[in-house]
A and B are shown apart, each in its own frame.
Chain A
């Protein structure tokens, strides 16, 4: 069936979405995290009345503003891209997916933009308290907007709270709370925001470390480091915890993704965790998505423990998912070939149902409906021929996951050391530490982008797990149009990014004593 789809259109649409989403995600985590760091700094200012803290707050606020603007610019396109490039998707699940986007606008965006204005322009116009509340509301508003879009993303990974309606040929929401409080959505939200806080903390420490290396604004830098390191230590612990919870959720709902993250081909009881691994460029199976390991360092039983809190538990690998298995909770997962069979039945039944309705053939409509409902769970599989087409690109998922986790550990260490050195009053002389703090800024971005690569590459070929393959989600437009817009985005966003980085660097050079112009 795959042959019926224009794969170059699918690929270009994916490339464009990846490009715009990753650009957007360069700016968002800093906004989410810096907003809280600023709010904390301003709280200290209001509590102590020390003007030094006001200066600190204002400096980070300037950087926040620059970063926020480009976040907005890259964000607007994402909302509309669901319609422009994924219109079949937008119809198939719009009844569920649209609501969080609308709530985001009504609840979060207005809060953000209203109080940002107070935050920037209100210093001399409103009371200190009012200003402080506004700053906190900016933080809350931006994080709320993250909530809604992540609920939507979580729902794609684990569709709950809905029912397929054959008359409209779409999924319809039956329980808003199931959608909002789905464990996948909650974990995703918590992991995403806490990782964003971690990134912002690394950013503040890195920039401050540069001042210390240059012996500029020393008190300012030290104070900033204290706030950021405490904030970062707490939030990075939380990042690890929520990431761990996400992984446990994935074992159950997206076992193929889990196998890909861990590079686990053949599952076993007491499975080991690959702490370090290198994939070769060859594949015994002949499937480009399934490269072999040329080297791996395994910690025995740890994977089973992480997945099920039981070192002897069975963890399924790629081949188990393909061939069918019974998981540790006793749930039976049929072989993908069976799912494909059922998916085809469902697709066929939907067609028959539509035809029967046209012909006013009630009997056929009823039997088709029954068949559809029985097989709907695996609707999306009906578009595939070969079970191995449901395997995501393993090496990129595996590497991204391991890079993210590894860097997460490094950030924990970084925050701990920063606090230790500040406490011992030796941070200024620890040149190696200051340098690695600066280098950690790009690493935080790498970790954060890797996280999304895990989440989104790891779930391929699905745009909605088990129900809608990515290739059926695209708009019916010609590939050329998408190619053109892809390059337009590439040029415009890159141009803006260059300006943003230059402006930021300039502001950092000018430092906190320069009014902010």
Chain B
């Protein structure tokens, strides 16, 4: 069935899948956001342990999604993988270190004789939550603002400056996206705690965070979104593949793809609805589903905006014609076809994840349960 699709159709299919993975990843970063709130929301050791255990049962999903996102990008758009990872060396290394320290933190934190002390592992969680989100957001910002690389005729790439991608933080628009992801992750983290922990004080403190993080979130998000609509973008000539700057490119993309616009707007509404309702209602716990679902829609729409409608999804500021598009960066027709068959397993994977979680998450986590738990983080 897939082998009959054109190469372009497969490239688009894979851009959609990668976008979906990316957007689910941002939703799942509620774990990271939650990690930055442990001391804000937990006033005693017991409360903090409760928070950490609530996150500890989910962190691996975020982590695995990140790894799968990387693998899927490699398989479907290997030129992006080689160019960006090999060039923006320091950005990716920084992100990876943030996740390396997270992976041990949960398991080691409360174990006796862990050498470095529980505090160290809590700091690891905090760094992961703070830098992990900001850096990933900033890196994705370069999808719109471009990066400094060149690609030669053998498709070998080179970074055009010695900063290894860290220069992305000098662009306010990139940083705005980084901060957006950070505050959003904190909001999602708070909503997650409200949904999955049975503890009044924690519930109320989480609720307050919706306001404290919600306001800065709105500021940076609006700055990012409005600027995006008015800025020049990287357009690709459909015939020749030549890349040029186009005024209002992303606004044009929205107008050319009304469905993407609808997804985006619907996402924004859902995000706000979840936040506002959870804040105003006495004891509303389902906000995570609205804000989380909305997050997925918004991020998904942004990825489509970056890659579809003849747009370079990874533009180069150093050499416009080196810019990567879903057409020039992709795998061969054969590989995309083979991978597409593999992608048919995704619904099955999601189904067993949901099923398994239903089975063990039938009630909220509380202190009582933690006291009887022998696998404690």
Contacts and interface: CB of A to CB of B under 8 A. Distances in A.
B85 A109 contact: no
15 contacts: A87-B86, A91-B156, A96-B335, A102-B342, A103-B342, A107-B349, A114-B357, A122-B359, A134-B356, A168-B155, A476-B157, A485-B89, A499-B104, A503-B108, A503-B113
B226 interface: no
B332 A172 contact: yes
A476 B151 CA distance: 11
A470 interface: no
B contact face: mostly helix, strand, loop, or mixed: helix
B78 A84 contact: no
Contacts of A87: 82-83, 85-87, 156-157
A126 B162 CA distance: 54
Contacts of B349: 106-107, 110-111
B56 to A, nearest CB: 10
Contacts of A113: 60-61, 63-64
Given A99-B339, A114-B356, A173-B332, A69 B103 contact: yes
B104 A105 contact: no
Interface in A132-185: 134, 165, 168-170, 172-174, 176
B345 interface: yes
B82 A88 contact: yes
A488 B78 CA distance: 27
9 shortest interchain CB distances as A-B pairs: A87-B86, A83-B85, A94-B78, A105-B68, A73-B103, A69-B107, A98-B75, A475-B86, A98-B74
Given A73-B100, A169-B154, A98 B111 contact: no
A487 to B, nearest CB: 12
Contacts of B162: 478
B60 A80 contact: no
A106 B375 contact: no
B200 interface: no
A42 interface: no
A79 B106 contact: no
Contacts of B353: 110, 114
Interface string A62-93: 10011011101110110110111111101100
A420 to B, nearest CB: 36
Contacts of B92: 80, 83-84
Interface string B109-127: 0111111100000000000
Contacts of B116: 495, 499
Interface in B19-61: 57, 60-61
Nearest to B69: A105
B82 A121 contact: no
Interface of B: 57, 60-61, 63-64, 66-72, 74-76, 78-79, 81-87, 89-90, 92-93, 96-97, 99-104, 106-108, 110-116, 153-159, 162, 164, 331-332, 334-335, 338-339, 342-343, 345-346, 349, 352-353, 356-357, 359-360, 362, 372-376
A126 B359 contact: yes
Interface string A44-77: 0000000000000010001001101110111011
B363 to A, nearest CB: 9
Contacts of B64: 105, 109-110, 113
A511 B298 CA distance: 50
Contacts of A496: 104
Contacts of A66: 107-108, 111
A137 B360 CA distance: 16
A76 B96 contact: yes
Interface of A: 58, 62, 65-66, 68-70, 72-74, 76-77, 79-80, 82-88, 90-91, 94-99, 101-107, 109-111, 113-118, 120-126, 130, 134, 165, 168-170, 172-174, 176, 350, 354, 358, 475-478, 481, 485, 488, 492, 495-496, 498-500, 502-503, 505-507, 510, 515-517
B85 A90 contact: yes
Contacts of A73: 100-104
B2 to A, nearest CB: 12
Given A99-B75, A109-B64, A113-B63, 18 more contacts: A73-B100, A76-B66, A82-B85, A83-B85, A88-B82, A88-B156, A90-B82, A94-B75, A99-B342, A105-B68, A106-B72, A118-B359, A121-B373, A125-B362, A477-B89, A488-B93, A499-B104, A507-B111
A515 to B, nearest CB: 5
Contacts of A485: 89, 93
Contacts of A105: 64, 67-72
B107 A354 contact: no
Nearest to B116: A499
B361 to A, nearest CB: 8
Given A69-B104, A88-B156, A126 B85 contact: no
Contacts of B111: 66, 503, 506-507
Contacts of B86: 83-88, 90, 475-477
Contacts of A114: 352-353, 356-357
Contacts of A80: 70, 85, 92, 96
Contact of B100 (A58, A74, A109, A478): A74
A98 B82 CA distance: 11
A505 B360 contact: no
Contacts of A90: 74, 78, 81-82, 85-86
Contacts of A507: 111
A117 B360 contact: yes
Contacts of B343: 106
A107 B352 CA distance: 12
B70 A79 contact: yes
Contacts of B84: 83
A91 B79 contact: yes
A34 to B, nearest CB: 15
A58 B374 CA distance: 10
B153 A94 contact: no
Contact of B338 (A99, A505, A515): A99
B332 A165 contact: yes
Most buried by B among A68, A169, A475, A492: A475
A200 to B, nearest CB: 19
Contact of B374 (A94, A500, A515): A515
Most buried by A among B61, B78, B85, B356: B78
A115 B78 CA distance: 31
Contacts of B90: 481
Contacts of A488: 93, 97
A21 to B, nearest CB: 14
A324 B357 CA distance: 61
Nearest to A119: B375
A516 to B, nearest CB: 4
B359 A173 contact: no
A357 B334 CA distance: 24
A124 B359 CA distance: 11
Contacts of A354: 153-154
A499 B108 contact: yes
B376 to A, nearest CB: 6
Contacts of B76: 98, 102
Contacts of B372: 124
Contact of B153 (A130, A169, A499, A517): A169
A141 to B, nearest CB: 11
Nearest to A350: B154
Nearest to B72: A102
A173 B335 contact: yes
B71 A98 contact: yes
A101 B331 contact: no
Most buried by B among A91, A102, A113, A120: A102
Contacts of B335: 95-96, 98-99, 172-173
A73 B331 CA distance: 29
A102 B73 CA distance: 8
Contacts of A176: 334, 338
A477 B84 CA distance: 12
Given A114-B352, A499-B115, A70 B158 contact: no
B359 A102 contact: no
